[in-house]
Amino acid sequence: MAAVVELNGVDFSYGSRLVLGNIELAVFENDFLAVVGPNGSGKTTLLRLILGFLIPDQGRVSVFGLPADKAGTHIGYVPQHGNFDAGFPISALEVVLMGRLHGRAFLPRYSEGDYRSAESAMHALRVYDLAHRPFGALSGGQKQRILIARALAAAPKLLVLDEPTAGVDEATEKDIWELLARLNEEVTIIVVSHNAALIAQYAKEVLYLDGSLKQQPGYSLV
Amino acid sequence: MVESILGFLKYEFIQNAAFAGLLASIAAGVVGSYVVIKRITLISGGIAHTVLGGMGIAYYLGKEPLAGAIVAAIFSAFLLGLVNLKAKQHEDTIIGALWAVGMALGVIFMALTPGYNVDLMSFLFGNILMVTHPILRLLFYLDTAILLVVAIFYRQFKLICFDEELARLQGLHVEALYVLLLCLIALTVVILIKVVGLILVIALLTLPAAVAGLFTHSLGRMMGLAAALSLFFTWSGLVISYNLNLPAGAVMVITAGVSYLAALSWKRLDQKSRREESSF
């Protein structure tokens, strides 16, 4: 079976500081991989390598058999909701619609099909009633659901999430993990989280990065 | 009384000024909204000051200063786009350098130009009352080009402003779009220089959009409202400056600045009273 995501002998450093060394990783269809570890252990770096935002110093990152920086359109990416400017003039529905945008989308209007996909993603996440609210005015948990809906609007086969439960309360956190476990029936999921205890109940595989490269276990399927 | 205040509308130069104000307001509202939401006021300032260099050189060579302004504006848009992509960590220092050097070049070339130097002041503070028909036509073409590009790339620009990473992931040409957006800002700066002058460009580019942004959550409506506000500022500035015999550009900006402060205070009070209501 071909891997959805594959890292072979990947090294990455910021300047002279080696963050990831000799990483071997294979993620297969319908995996639910949690990448956990303390701050500075390279979790986010690993994610950004998979997304193709960073290029490894050594080794190879491939996603659906393509080099990572060419595979972006096949990935549904969910960034942290805290990254966004609260004053940006945009509605929740527009945020979700953005998930449908591509490099040859001209003129201001989205198509009927774009609206249908966006709205059904919002129904699936139970956030359709927020459609016309300003995105910046939503709570952390609501924003996170909108961003997950945005990623799903393009019907990706792989969902990549960066700390989806940062800055939300405990009940919402559980809610989001349960939601992801449900989504996992359809899509492969890679999620970065600092909450190793809780995510272990939902994820099928856990990759622990502890920042000391020597002890890093090679990742293998459970 | 109304007749005596608005009686000046019968003069052709005033009609031209009013029309120039309209064209400037459309560009300022639409492009200014992008400047505000992407928070690139400093970059826009850098472009504006480089434009003075281009105008000075054109002036020295005996060419139309506006042509020099357009060339310099586009040049600096590309240069700043490149800086953003290749040397982001030094971006604000480089903008500062470009800002000062552009302006110094402008001043030097204007000083080198033989003859009576009235034009430096009109570049710095604008001279909307001297706008001629050929200039109006040029401003009209610039406006049309800006609106056309914004219409075509409206959604893509919005995405690179909101979430550059997602834009990259979804295969948008982020770098090219960013430089194109800077070029639109550059062209808008050229139009605004004619109306309020270099010193006040940033005010007209950002204040109407900032006020509009306080009252709407849609980018399209923000652009429309910003254009309408900008029109109000320029036209009321014209009326006030004519009647009180003050420089038009400065009066326009004071009107805009006061409105921004008023809108901000109103918004604060409104939010506070809502919070108090909801706490009962």
pTM given for the model: 0.88
DSSP A30-72: T-EEEEE-STTSSHHHHHHHHTTSS--SEEEEEETTEEGGG-G
Reported confidence tier of residue A216, pLDDT bands at 50, 70, 90: very low
DSSP assignment, residue A193? E
Reported confidence tier of residue B159, pLDDT bands at 50, 70, 90: very high
Quick check: B209 pLDDT over 60?
yes
Of B166, B171, B222, the CB nearest to A98: B166
Question: Looking at this protein, which amino acid is placed at residue A137?
Answer: A
Strand-pairing partners, residue A61, are A7
Expressed in angstroms, the distance from the first to the final Cα of chain A is 16
The average pLDDT across B26-55 equals 91
Question: Looking at this protein, which amino acid is placed at residue A110?
Answer: Y
A66-67 sheet: strands from edge to edge: A17-27, A5-14, A58-63, A66-67
Residue B213 contacts A where some CB pair is shorter than 8 Å: yes
Cβ within 8 Å of residue B258, ≥6 positions away = none
- Shortest distance between the Cα of A73 and any Cα of chain B, in A, equals 5
- Contacting B with CB below 8 Å, chain A residues are 51-53, 72-73, 75, 77, 79, 83-85, 87-91, 94-95, 98-99, 101-103, 105-108, 110, 134, 136-137, 150, 154
Sign of CA dihedral A151, A152, A157, A159: positive
Residue B271 contacts A where some CB pair is shorter than 8 Å: no
Quick check: B57 pLDDT over 60?
yes
Of A83, A87, A101, the CB nearest to B170: A101
Q: What is the pLDDT of residue B272?
A: 79
Cβ within 8 Å of residue A19, ≥6 positions away = A12, A13, A42, A45
- Shortest distance between the Cα of B22 and any Cα of chain A, in A, equals 23
Residue-averaged pLDDT of chain B: 87
Contact B16, B131 (CB under 8 A): yes
Per-residue pLDDT tens for A6-36?
Answer: 888 888 888 888 888 888 888 998 899 988 8
Most confident stretch, B130-134, B213-217, B247-251: B213-217
Q: Which residue of A has its CA nearest to B217?
A: A89
Q: Which residues of A touch B263 (CB under 8 A)?
A: none
Contact B91, B84 (CB under 8 A): yes
CA distance B223 to B24: 13
| Domains delineated in chain B | 2-278 (1.10.3470.10)
Quick check: B37 pLDDT over 90?
yes
Residue B178 contacts A where some CB pair is shorter than 8 Å: no
Return the higher-pLDDT residue of A166 and B261.
Answer: B261
Q: Are strands A17-27 and A5-14 parallel, antiparallel or unpaired?
A: antiparallel
A188-193 sheet: strands from edge to edge: A75-78, A158-162, A188-193, A32-36, A205-208
Cβ within 8 Å of residue B263, ≥6 positions away = B211, B214, B215
Cα dihedral A5, A7, A8, A14, rounded to 10, equals 160
Question: What are B1's two structure tokens?
Answer: 């009384």
Cβ within 8 Å of residue B271, ≥6 positions away = none
Q: Would you call B166 and A77 a contact, using CB atoms and an 8 Å cutoff?
A: yes
Residue B219 contacts A where some CB pair is shorter than 8 Å: yes
Question: Looking at this protein, which amino acid is placed at residue B220?
Answer: G
Sign of CA dihedral B213, B214, B218, B220: negative
Per-residue pLDDT tens for A107-151?
Answer: 988 999 999 999 999 998 889 999 999 999 998 889 999 999 999
Helix (H, G, I), strand (E, B) or coil at A10: strand
Cβ within 8 Å of residue B169, ≥6 positions away = A51, A52, A72, A73, A75, A77
Per-residue pLDDT tens for B73-113?
Answer: 899 999 988 888 887 778 888 888 888 998 899 888 888 88
Quick check: B119 pLDDT over 70?
no
Q: Which residues of A touch B152 (CB under 8 A)?
A: 106-107
CA distance A124 to A96: 12
DSSP assignment, residue B114? -
| Domains delineated in chain A | 5-215 (3.40.50.300)
Helix (H, G, I), strand (E, B) or coil at B275: helix
